[in-house]
Amino acid sequence: MPRKNRNSKKKNKAAAAGGDNRQVAVNRKALYDYEILDRVEAGLVLTGTEIKSIRAGKVDLRDAYARVQDGELWLHGAHIAPYDSGSYMNHEPKRPRKLLVHRGEINDLGAQTAEKGLTLAALRLYLKNHHAKVELGVARGKRQYDKRRAIIDRERERQARQAMKEWRE
């Protein structure tokens, strides 16, 4: 009887634990337009064709935001393209999608967004252990001069990194 490799079992468990962690979409516009105060991970309630479209990377979060309605958290404005091989039962691309978050977090997020000037922006969508997750950010809108300041800071940091790289060589 052939002897089993004990390490293969450990590798399979590690692969199952790590799973399919990959980023599908990032909302770069939200990172530019908003100052992110807090981040929250939420699961998505999806149909079969939606998850297939997400795995194919056909997602746009540019105008996506979340809102608390009737004690539940909903994602609005996220565009998940219809699945190419779908039938007449394909999903609606911009439909509101329910988000899965603990009740206490929903209450906290609802209280935070009730404040003036705060919103829940969708920052990124990713697959974690074969489940679609969305990262929400409690955000405050930046003013024009804040955006200019961020661009200047980013440029200075890039120049400093380049100078350090040249110095090391």
pLDDT digits (tens, 9 = 90+) for 105-131: 999 999 888 878 789 999 999 999 989
Instruction: Give the pLDDT band of residue 133 (cuts 50, 70, 90).
Output: very high
pLDDT at 20 over 70: no
Give pLDDT tens digits for 74-111: 999 999 888 877 777 788 888 999 999 999 999 999 98
Going from the C-alpha of 35 to that of each of 29, 100, 117, 123, the distances in angstroms are: 11, 24, 11, 11
Task: Name the residue with tokens 């981040």.
Answer: 39
**pLDDT computed for residue 19 by the predictor:** 53
The structure's pTM equals 0.72
pLDDT of residue 2: 53
Residue 9 has pLDDT above 60, yes or no: no
Mean pLDDT of the 161-165 span:
90
Percent of the chain with pLDDT over 90: 37
Return the CATH class of domain 19-142: mainly beta
141-150, long-range: CB < 8 A, 24+ apart: 141/33, 141/34, 141/35, 141/117, 142/32, 142/33, 142/34, 142/35, 146/35, 147/32, 147/33, 150/32
- pLDDT higher than 80, residue 18: no
> d(Cα 126, Cα 121) in Å, to the nearest integer?
15
Residues 53, 82 contacting (CB under 8 angstroms)? yes
Q: What is the pLDDT of residue 14?
A: 42
